[in-house]
Structure formats: structure tokens, C-alpha cells
A and B are shown apart, each in its own frame.
Chain A
């Protein structure tokens, strides 16, 4: 059909040319033979010129009128501020009427407490209470200002020096909250374009830091060094392919994972980091004051010089039995944070009595190494007892004072698992007077590790208490699981 059309057009053109030729037939103007072709060509040129000078088609922009915007604003219906309250959200936590020591009082009943990370049993320690009391009288409670503006009390500096002396690092920096420590440290050193490789099971504070840093973040399978090496290998290959300006690279891990109780193989991490030129950040919240012969943490446990780890962070609301967090490392690492650590620079400093408590806690730990022996004995006792429990399996490290018990037959869903586990925990509190907890997971948390019952062992727990916990846990688990 199209060829028919073309023939038609050709025919028409020929006729046109012939028709136009007729009047000028044979005419010669200034030596140019004038015929119909020229007329048609001139016409075409004129059309092209006309088209060229034509404005391109632009639909007229018509901004919304006031009235239209008013209407849009009227029509807009926002979502409610928060989703509907579900039944789980109604759950109230236990309310303590005493300190959170190894035995606590909940609703008038004495209960064995395995929910506080009071690893060294320093809650209620006479020396620490005395130090806090003195600090309260001298300094008052709050510091009433950020570190920059007269919120630096001398005990803050003493505490920083004490941490450095205890660990053998160059300098340390105090944060007033454990959760804000990693969220501030990571963005202080990593920016857009830098690379961070982190474990997929890291706690929310680290996840938040990773997100705020805007760096390229890659996650490796929980505590799997092969997976880590694979990612490192990929990055090294990519480097060979594309030469780029060197960027900062970090491996971020936790010494003992808050979400699983597993321990990171530091020797392997150090080997990989040195092989692939990465720096490493280790969060020692659950290992500081716990691991190693003198409680100096993961590096002591592995016999690795602490300088090999570039940045160490830790919360102080665990073994040290106070509140806050710190970061320690080289002088440069610490100095840089004093203006760049958001949670340091823009937050009120921690109450001085809490810094005093931290200093005294380290003193106590150095003076009484038997605390660590007792803690490890308790950990071993509980580990042996619980590994025989039916229906549950211990998934935490054998040295970790933070225990994780997962269901042997998991349903695969965090929510269903934790509902079942919560039932066990509730029964334990009611029937056996033992306070345990189920791992919580915020909607904002990206960690995908399975739910488990958490137990925090303390050096202050008595053997008989722990034996009682093992005994009653076994029977409660059996009773609950059998009913299902």
C-alpha cells in the first residue's frame, strides 16, 4: 500500500513540475536555465526556513491558582500520627521496687533477676554508692550544659583518663548515653563515598550510625568470616578495575552481639582488615569488663594489642553498672570527635556522679579479679545446665554472659517465636519467680536474627539461684511446649 502511495506522490510531483514548467519553458534568467524544479526547490527551502524559525511547541505552563491549592490542601487527608494500637503494645514491663541486682522486688514479690546486664554484680556495691554519694554532694545531679559550655566537670576528664589507662589506649571520649555513642562515632568518620562493611546482626545504635553516615554500607552474614572475606574480595577486585581516589573503609562488628550473644573472631577480623587495608570498629558493650583475664575486653581475650583495633566503643550501662558510653583509640580518633561527634558536641554531658561511678567500677574491677572468675564460673554453670534443656538451644557463645535461647523448632517468624517465648518468660516470672526477657525488635530495626530468650548472668548470682533457674526453666519450657 505504501508503495502505491509513493507512486501516487511521484506522479503528482511530476505533474506539478510539468505544470510549472509550462509557463517558463525554456526561460533563461542571468544564464540560469529556469524551470519548474527550481520553483519547487525554492518553495521547499522557504518551508524549511519557516519551520526552522517556528517556535518549538511548548505547552503553556499554568501554575496552580490559589483556589486550586486551597482545594488540594482541603482534600489532603494525612495518615494518623501512629498506627492503631495492637494488643502487644499494651504489654507493660515489670516495675521494680528495688535496685536491679541479682534478686529484685517486682509487685511485692522477690524475684531472681536475669534481665539486667549487671555482669560484674556492681549494682549496689558499697564503694560505688559511696563515690556517687560524694559526687552528688559536690557536683549536684546534672551538669547543666554540653561539654563545650562549662559542662566539662573534672570527673569527666578523670573518667576519660581512667578508661585510657585501664585499656592502654591513647585517649578516650565520654558520651552521655550508650545508644548515642555508636550513632555519633560512625558518622564522625564516614561520609558519603566511604565504605563500611558491617555484620547484619549489629544493634540498632550501629545501624543508625551506618545510616546517618551516608556511606556505602555492605552487610555480611551474621558472624560469618567467609562472607566477610567474599565482600572484601569483591571490593578489591572492583578497585583493580576502576582506579579511584582512596576512600575510608571500615569493618564494623560487635565483640559480643547484643542480638545473638555470639562472639566475633577478632583474630580473623584483624587478619582480614590488614590484608585488605580496612580499619575496624569494635563495639565492646557486652565484653568490656567481662572478657580477658583482667576484664579488658575482646583484645585481651585474643591476646591482640589494643592498638590494632582502630576504634573501640562501649556502653557503660553493662559491666560498669552506670550509664553512658565511651569511645577510645588513638589521640586523633578521639580529638576529631570532640567537634564532630554529634552526641558529644550537642548534648549535655553525663551527670558527674555517673562518671564517678564508672571510675570506681574500674578501680573495683582491678582490685578484685575474683569477680571475673566468679562470673565465668556462673556462665559455665548456666551454659552446661541450659545446653541440656529440651525444646530450646543455646545459641550464644560459651563465654558470653549474655545468653540467647532459641526455639529448637522455630516457626520462622520473629513475631510467632517471640509470642511463644514470651509465654515461657511470663510463666517463669509467675510460677518460678525468675525474671527473664525475650529479645525485642523495634519496627525500625533492620536486624533479621531470630528471637530468643535473653539471660544476663552476673558474678553476683549465687550458684543455688542459677541452679533453680535452670531447673524451673526446663520444667516451664516442657510444660509450655508440650501444650502446643
Chain B
């Protein structure tokens, strides 16, 4: 967990306080100057003042740091469109000019985002054969041979008897969870789980409790208490309990403590739902995700979920589990019954990417990509830490957030990096807690060593400028470390 330094906490609170006071002053004057014409007489306003206060008074000021349009594939280098505003950032327009920037924002872990020698020709072929859409749900006329092939392939890849695919990652979570559990059930969710899990859990109508982020001991405590107390008010025993965790937490870069969590779930007979949106394809020796990296048997995980948006450079998501589970979900899940099937060329992209990862394309590019993402991630993380930045996340994880804390540092960091042709992502409320704003780097296998060195140089310069090196290295300690490293090298040689 992040512990925010006292002084920084103080300045951060002060900054938000100031923004809040000014925002309310402006709201106060606005109520005199401009009557809200968009709300007709007799209607309640479409958004209440407090609902869009954050958007109007905080977000609009730094809007240019988000939603930056790009005019290229989200590869290692992207063309970021230049934008201008005539009304103090409230609306932004593209100028038509673009800047070539190093991309540290996209989830292009394995570098399948751009045209690929193996994938692209096959995708184009499938486009010609199947067209972009089936205009039908999977149960009607939306299942093509490609969908079938992918379902078999992904099941084999993750090590489960069966799998099903959806056309959208978000909908995979939000339509599967309600099919699995309902009234009388309990969902125990990690406190930092993704919004799609929250949406699915809420739509299910079951009870929801959270446990402290990535803390198996607290999960055990919550489970014991829940089972002992039973359902609230009626005190009947729970029908079932599903524990939901993620493989890599996208805003923290942390790996799930899966072996411990599996042990707890097995002990208390709770079902485990693992969301591998960011971890599948990105980590593990052969890209099979968190289970492979941490040595967990996939048969210990009841429901494995993942997306194709990240490592595979496509769209959609999958659920893998026992044969009967998939049969049941295919008969019940609204995402399967009602939604338009996943676009066939996107299906083909995943199939091709998987074949490259598995080495079934007849080359070792997949293994190279996997080695590359690991090297890149670990090198970059170590360098950032050496620099003195506060970097979150675990070894091997390709996601690394750098803590910024103060709200003014988000736009400063983001804009200064962009000026120097490095595109980074600033993350603030609502994706993180208000105080814990951060910049997030996502590494890719398509980054070269030179790319990373350039990025580090820029980040170091900008970090000095916006003062986010919260752990400046002690010069003496650094000297000692260097000496130690030299000794190690000598020993090796």
C-alpha cells in the first residue's frame, strides 16, 4: 500500500482545498451571471451541481492531458494530434497537426497493436471472408468457425477444459457475474477491483463486501465472519461465495498474491474468479499469465476471465472454466444471448497472436516478445527506482505507476513529457483515490533499448522539474551500492 509523506499530504490537501474554494466561488458567481438555459422550466437539471462539480472545476482545467487523440496505431511510437481550445480548455479541437511521441500509455504489452507480419494478412483475409460483423448474437447467426476455433485455442492456452468469448472486455465481467450468483450469494471483492467487476457484482443483486487490497489474511477474516454470520437479517447460510481478484491491478501494477488467496478460498469453499485482463499474455514464461508466473494450478481457479484488448491487440474478452460451467453460461449470460458477436477480424487477430505466442507460427517471435517485455519492464522499473521516484508495483509487472500526489503535478508532468515527445498517462480521481494521483507507464515488447533510455532521460528531467523524486538516493549509499555491483560483476567474470 502507498503511504503518503506528511508534508506531501498537507500540500495535496491544500491544493484540493484551494481548487474547491475557487470552484465554489466561481459557481457562486455563475449563479448570478448565467442562468442555466439548458434546463427548461419544471425539469430537474440533467446533472446536479455536485455531480459535475469535479468535471467543471477540476477536470476541465487539465482536460488536455486526457483523451489525447492519436492518428496512428497505438504502437511504441504514436502520432499524437495537437489540440487547441478557445474556451479555457472546456472544449478541445484538433488542429490537424500531429507529433510523433514515444508511447508509454497503451496496453500494448506484446506489441501486437500495429501491423504484424503474421497477423495482419490473416486478419485482412478474415475481413474479406466474414466481413466486420455478423449483425447477430452468438446464439443466432453470430457463431462463425473463427469463434469456435478461438474458444478451443484460448481454453488450451489458459489450461481449462472450455472457454467462451465475448465482444467486449467490460461486458465479459458485467454480464457473467450476474449469471453466476444472485440473491442469497456473497461476492467478496478486492477493494481495488476494476469498475466492470463492480458493475457485474452490483447487477447480480447479491451482497458485496470488499477485503483490503491484496491482503489474503484480511480475506480470510472477512470469509470467516461472513460464513459464521450468514446472510444479514435472516442469518441463513450463504448460498455461495465468490471471491473476485485481478491478476495485475492496472492502477497499481501489483501482482495478485494468488497462491495465498487460492489457499484461503479452498479452505473456506469459496469460488475464485480471477480477472486476468492485464496479466494474460503479458507475464509468465510462456505468457500464460499470473498462474504460470506464481506456479498456481489452473484447476484451483473456478472462473478464469481475461481480455484480448491488451496483450493480443484486439478487443473482447473470454471466460474459461469447466465444460459444464461454459455450457451453463452460454445458455444464461446476456452477453452471449443478446449482444452482437465479436467481430470476426478481431477474432482472427487473437487467434493469430495466440499462435505467435505459442510458437505455432513456425518462428520463435512469441518467445522473443515475452522475453523482451520482461526485460524491458524490469530494466525500466529498476531505473525509475534508482532515479528516486516512488514507483508502485511488483517485479515482472509491465505496469508501473509513479506517484505524483499533488493535483497540479498531473498536468505538469503530462504536458512537460509530451513537449519532450513522450506520451504518458496521468491518472487521477475517479480512477484512483483523490490523494493518490499518479503517472502510469505501460511497457511494451516493441520498445527498444534506445526508446527506454530516451524515456528515462525525459522522465528524469521532468521529475526534477515537478519535484516528484520523493526518495532521492543517499550519495554515500549509492556509492556503496555501485561498489557492491562492481564486486558482483568481478565475481561473475
Q: Shortest Cβ distance from B81 into chain A, in angstroms?
A: 6
CB B336 to nearest CB in A, in angstroms, measures 9
B240: contacting residue among A81, A208, A350, CB under 8 A: A81
Contact between chains at B43 and A279 (CB < 8 Å): yes
Q: How far is the CB of B412 from chain A (nearest CB, A)?
A: 18
A91 and B113 CA atoms in complex are apart in Å by 36
Q: Is B343 within 8 A of A351, CB to CB? A: yes
Name A100's contact: one of B108, B131, B315 (CB within 8 Å): B131
B68: chain A residues at CB < 8 Å are: 150, 152
CA distance A95 to B133 in the complex (A): 15
A212 with B203, Cβ < 8 A, contacts A124-B131, A440-B337 known: yes
Q: How far is the CB of B405 from chain A (nearest CB, A)?
A: 20
B224 interfacial by beta-carbon distance below 8 Å: yes
A330 CA to B47 CA, complexed, in Å: 13
Is A154 located at the chain interface by the 8 A CB criterion? Answer: yes
Chain B residues whose C-beta falls within 8 Å of the C-beta of A247 in the assembled complex: 44
List B contacts of A12 (CB < 8 A).
none
How would residues 435 to 473 of chain A score, 1 for a CB under 8 Å from any chain B CB and 0 otherwise? 101001011110000000010100000000000000000
Would A96 and B134 be within 8 Å (CB), given that A143-B74, A212-B199, A437-B140 are in contact?
Answer: yes
A159 and B328 CA atoms in complex are apart in Å by: 37
The answer on a CB contact under 8 Å between B339 and A90 is: no
Q: Is there contact, CB below 8 Å, between B228 and A72? A: yes
Are A339 and B168 in touch, CB under 8 angstroms?
no
Which residues 69-118 of B have a CB within 8 angstroms of A? Answer: 69-75, 78, 80-81, 94, 103, 105-108, 112-116
Q: Indicate whether A309 reaches chain B with its CB closer than 8 angstroms.
A: no
Give A77 to B68 CA distance when docked, in angstroms: 51
Binds A, one of B211-219, B302-310, B458-466, B469-477: B302-310
CA distance A245 to B45 in the complex (A): 11
Question: Which of B119-127, B154-162, B292-300 faces chain A?
Answer: B119-127
A189 and B45 CA atoms in complex are apart in Å by: 10
Q: For A73, A94, A194, A348, which residue has the most chain B Cβ atoms within 10 angstroms?
A: A348
User: Contact at B168–A332, with CB atoms within 8 Å?
Assistant: no
Interface hits, A315-354 → B, CB 8 Å? 315, 317-318, 321-323, 330, 332-333, 335-336, 338-340, 342-343, 345-348, 350-351, 353-354
Complex Cα distance, B227 from A72, in Å, reads 7
B44 to A157, Cβ gap below 8 A? no
On chain B, the residues within 8 Å of A321 by CB distance are 131-133, 135
Chain A neighbourhood of B38, CB < 8 A: 330, 332
Q: How large is the interface on A (under 10, 10 to 19, 20 to 34, 35 or more residues)?
A: 35 or more
Interface-centre pick from B75, B329, B333, B339 (highest chain A CB count, 10 A): B339
- Report A-chain residues with C-beta under 8 Å of the C-beta of B94: 154, 157
Establish whether residues A148 and B269, one from each chain, have CB atoms under 8 Å apart when the complex forms. no
B196 partner, pick from A156, A249, A347, beta carbons under 8 A:
A347
Closest to B205 in A: A211
B106 and A144 contacting across the interface, CB-CB below 8 Å: yes
Whether, in the assembled complex, B138 has its beta carbon less than 8 Å from a beta carbon of chain A, the answer is: yes
Determine whether A396 belongs to the interface, using a CB cutoff of 8 Å to chain B. Answer: no
Whether A203 lies near B338 (C-beta < 8 A) is yes
Question: A72, A179, A351: which contacts B334 (Cβ < 8 A)?
Answer: A179
Q: Is the CB of A136 within 8 A of B135?
A: no
Judge whether A142 is part of the interface by a CB distance below 8 angstroms.
Answer: yes
Q: Is the CB of B224 within 8 A of A317?
A: no
Q: List chain B residues, Cβ under 8 A from A194.
A: 44
B43 to A277, Cβ gap below 8 A? Answer: yes
Shortest beta-carbon contacts, A-B, top 7: A317-B340, A177-B168, A115-B141, A347-B170, A348-B309, A140-B73, A179-B339
Chain A residues packing against B (C-beta within 8 Å): 64, 68-69, 72-73, 76-83, 85, 88-91, 93-101, 104, 113, 115-118, 123-125, 128-129, 132-133, 136-145, 147-154, 156-157, 176-180, 183, 189, 191, 194, 203-205, 208, 211-212, 245-249, 258, 277, 279, 315, 317-318, 321-323, 330, 332-333, 335-336, 338-340, 342-343, 345-348, 350-351, 353-354, 357, 435, 437, 440, 442-445, 454, 456
Supplied contacts A149-B66, A345-B195, 8 more A-B pairs, CB within 8 Å: A81-B325, A116-B136, A142-B308, A177-B170, A177-B340, A317-B136, A342-B199, A346-B196
Q: List 28 A-B contacts (CB under 8 A).
A: A69-B228, A76-B268, A93-B142, A95-B147, A99-B130, A115-B136, A139-B73, A140-B313, A150-B68, A153-B74, A176-B315, A177-B339, A179-B334, A183-B174, A183-B203, A204-B334, A211-B203, A246-B44, A247-B44, A248-B43, A323-B343, A336-B55, A340-B51, A342-B195, A437-B141, A440-B139, A442-B179, A442-B332
